[in-house]
Amino acid sequence: MQNSKDYKKVGVLIVGAGPAGLASAIKLKVEMPQLDVCVVEKGADLGNHNLSGAVLEAEPLHTLLDSAVPGWHDSDDAKDVLASKVEKDDVMFFTKKLSFNIFFAIKFARWLGLGFGQMTHKGDYSVSMSKLTKWMGRIAKDLGVEVLTGFAAEDIILDKSARMARAVKLVHQGLDKEANKQPNFIEGEIIGADFVVLAEGCDGLLTEKFIEKAGLERQAPQMYSVGVKELIKVSVEQYDKFTSERVVHAMGYPIWTPFIGPGMFGGGIIYAGQQEHLSVGMIVGADWKYFDFNPQDALVNFKNHKFVKQFIDGGTVVEAGAKMIPEGGYYAIPRDPQNGAIGKGNVLIVGDSAGFVNMLKIKGLHNGIDSGIQAARAIAETIKKPKETALRYTELIDGSNVAQEMWSARNFRQIVGKFGPLQGMPLSVLGALLPKFTIERDYEAMTSLRYRLKPKQEFDKDSFTAMAATQHREEQPSHLTILDSNICQTKCTPSFDTPCITFCPAGVYEMVHDEVKPANPSNCLHCKTCQRKCPFDNIRWTVPEGDGGPRYKRM
Ligand code: SF4
Ligand code: SF4
């Protein structure tokens, strides 16, 4: 380990170059141009690990760019990233054969002032998350932020009181599978920092380590959804029929059918991209109970539904990927039990790492950017008093739209998880009136029930993974660990038929000589589903060396 005098030291170290972290970096440079700000990102390039639907409520981004980039509206990046403004916003309900547009119900709920009414998207932008991230990264670099891609962080070093962070430790590079140093070995650098912003996205490794080390607590366990998405090039006729300014959200089949099941939380999406591309995806609550279910099964069924098929039949999948979404809402935000701070001392948690997704809107990108901005403001205001920064950040969040939204959606996801979509959706209207209640963790929900709508043909995970362009250096220690293979053999396989082999979207897990193993770690999409869905909490995901993982370009 290096002597502390040898540390590289920066003013602000941001872990994760997603929209929340980059919003922080940009705003910091606007507020304090002389401050040295560094962003470390495990993806090989900006945007490579960023995937979402995505619908962007643009106000926080506009506010940020107005303060940072004069004339940004006219830039080629702005014209490219914000090309698809949503004019047509459909909410559908599917049965196996039929489809009904139920957007009138959302409008009615809005008129009544009910939470559901938030689920409108007109005036938002249908964006590529990877492209948005790349654009924000370029702006940050132009302002003087040091953005280091291909550098994975594995630990946060706190002082003795565990109230302040001193540094962040990066992952070693150049170890072989047995963790022996190879000739190209580079020791993981320790980067000292006056302030640390944790912006790793959903279920960030460093964030979870920090929560544990610093004694932060969630009032309710975090809940997750798994999203699988394909970007499909369709014909001009299909694209024109769908229209370039439209987003569709679909509930019901194939993850929820009233009375006869299945009954899972989530739905399908079709979003217009550019140049005859449509984003088609399926988002499923990770509290699904079917042991043989894989969100890709639902994606296949969704794509085969008559309503969806008309727009994509004969199209070509050009990119694909998977990611989790934090859905636990207000009560799952990690806080300091002593003062409620979303962080501690000089460490702030932003974006999906904090869980700022508003499930009533099914959107969180705007909150991520907003929280990044608030983090920057808090640092600028407390630059000489870093012990107070997390608390100031929390005050700013509490006074912002982020907290308002999170509070309005409290309990929503838990109610639907507890009572199922049929009863839970109507009951969720009362969500804000109910006291906090928690439900079991996602991984505890698995049962011996089968998914009734399992497609006959096995999903082609190899092609899916190839479309994510994922790669890792083969000769490195596996970043996936099964803690106790005995549990697999004696408990899980007999009860649930080794579900990690089924639900991992990249086919990482396989039976090798009668023992389940993460046999193909280099296929991993970094979605972390296995860590949260293994029914015995028996898998640990650690960070592989930087540069690995998917290489999303337009997801
Ligand atoms: Fe089951 Fe988890 Fe073992 Fe896979 S790793 S077989 S999901 S216990
Ligand atoms: Fe996702 Fe785990 Fe599979 Fe990697 S191994 S793709 S993190 S489920």
Domain hosting residue 507, numbered range: 470-541
- Same domain? For 373 and 318 the reply is no
The number of the ligand nearest the C-alpha atom of 544 reads 2
DSSP string of 153-174? EEEEEE-TTSSSEEEEEEPPEE
3-state class (DSSP) for residue 116: helix
For residue 529 and ligand 1, the question of a CB distance below 6 A is answered with no
The pLDDT-based confidence of 7 (bands split at 50, 70, 90) is: low
Q: Which two tokens stand for residue 59?
A: 């106000």
Pair (499, 351) in one structural domain: no
491 Cα to the center of ligand 1, angstroms: 9
Rounded to an integer, the average pLDDT of 426-435 is 70
How far, in Å, from the CA of 482 to the mean position of ligand 2? 12
Percentages helix, strand, coil for the chain (3-state, rounded to 5) are: 35, 25, 40
pLDDT confidence bin for 196, thresholds 50/70/90: very high
Closest residue to atom 3 of ligand 2, CA basis: 504
Is the minimum distance from the CB of 50 to ligand 2 under 6 angstroms? no
Residue 550 lies in a domain: no
Residue 3, pLDDT score: 41
Is the C-beta atom of 528 inside 6 A of ligand 2? yes
Query: Residue 111: is its pLDDT beyond 50?
Result: yes
Mutate to test the pocket of ligand 1, among 291, 441, 487 (most ligand atoms within 8 A of CB): 487
Work out the angle at residue 500's Cα, subtended by the Cα atoms of residues 43 and 259, and round it to the nearest 5 degrees.
110
Whether residue 272 lies inside any domain: the answer is yes
Q: Answer yes or no: do 97 and 23 share one domain.
A: no
Q: What percent of the chain has pLDDT over 90?
A: 86
Q: How far is the CA of 528 from the centre of ligand 2 (A)?
A: 5
pLDDT-derived band of residue 414, with 50, 70 and 90 as boundaries?
A: confident
Kindly report, residue by residue over 299-314, the tens digit of the pLDDT. Answer: 999 999 999 999 999 9
Q: 343 C-alpha to center of ligand 2: Å?
A: 28
Find out whether the beta carbon of 81 lies less than 6 Å from any atom of ligand 2: no
Digit-coded pLDDT (tens) for 271-328: 999 999 999 999 999 999 999 999 999 999 999 999 999 999 999 999 999 999 999 9
Report if residue 428 sits inside a domain: no
Last residue of a domain, one of 277, 303, 325: 325
Give the tens place of pLDDT for each residue, 493-539: 999 999 999 999 999 999 999 999 999 999 999 999 999 999 999 99
Residue 40, helix vs strand vs coil: strand
Residue 430 belongs to some domain of the structure? no
Structure tokens given for 43: 């993806």
The whole-angstrom separation of Cα 407 and Cα 422 is: 23
CATH number at residue 161: 3.50.50.60
Q: Which of 325, 348, 380 is the last residue of a domain?
A: 325
CATH number, domain at 521?
3.30.70.20
Ligand 2 center to 508 CA (angstroms): 7
Examine the domain organization and report whether 233 and 314 are in the same domain. Answer: yes
Give me ligand 1 centre to Cα 538, in Å. Answer: 6
323 CA to centre of ligand 2 in angstroms: 9
Please count the structural domains in the chain: 3
Q: Mean per-residue pLDDT for 391-402?
A: 97
pLDDT value of position 5: 43
The answer to whether residues 148 and 111 belong to one domain is no
CB of 274 closer than 6 angstroms to any ligand 1 atom: no
Q: How confident is the model at residue 258 (pLDDT cuts 50, 70, 90)?
A: confident
155 in a domain, yes or no?
Answer: yes
Taking the centre of ligand 1 as the mean of its atom positions, its distance from the CA of residue 492, in whole angstroms, is 6
Mean pLDDT of the 373-390 span:
98
pLDDT per position as a tens digit, 222-244:
999 999 999 999 999 999 999 99
- pLDDT at 449 > cutoff 60: yes
In this prediction, residues 216-223 reach a mean pLDDT of: 96
14 and 62 share one domain? yes
Q: 538 CB under 6 A from ligand 1?
A: yes
Among residues 297, 325, 353, which one ends one of the domains? Answer: 325
Does one domain contain both 196 and 340?
yes
Residue 450 in domain: no
Q: How confident is the model at residue 2 (pLDDT cuts 50, 70, 90)?
A: very low
pLDDT band for position 105 (cuts 50, 70, 90): confident
Residues 295 and 278 in one domain: yes
**Which atom belonging to ligand 1 lies closest to the Cα atom of 488?**
3
Instruction: Decide whether any atom of ligand 2 lies within 6 Å of the 541 Cβ.
Output: yes
Tell whether ligand 2 has an atom less than 6 A from the beta carbon of residue 524: yes
Tell me the pTM. 0.95
Ramachandran category for residue 280: left, alpha or beta (phi over 0 → left; psi -120 to 50 → alpha): beta
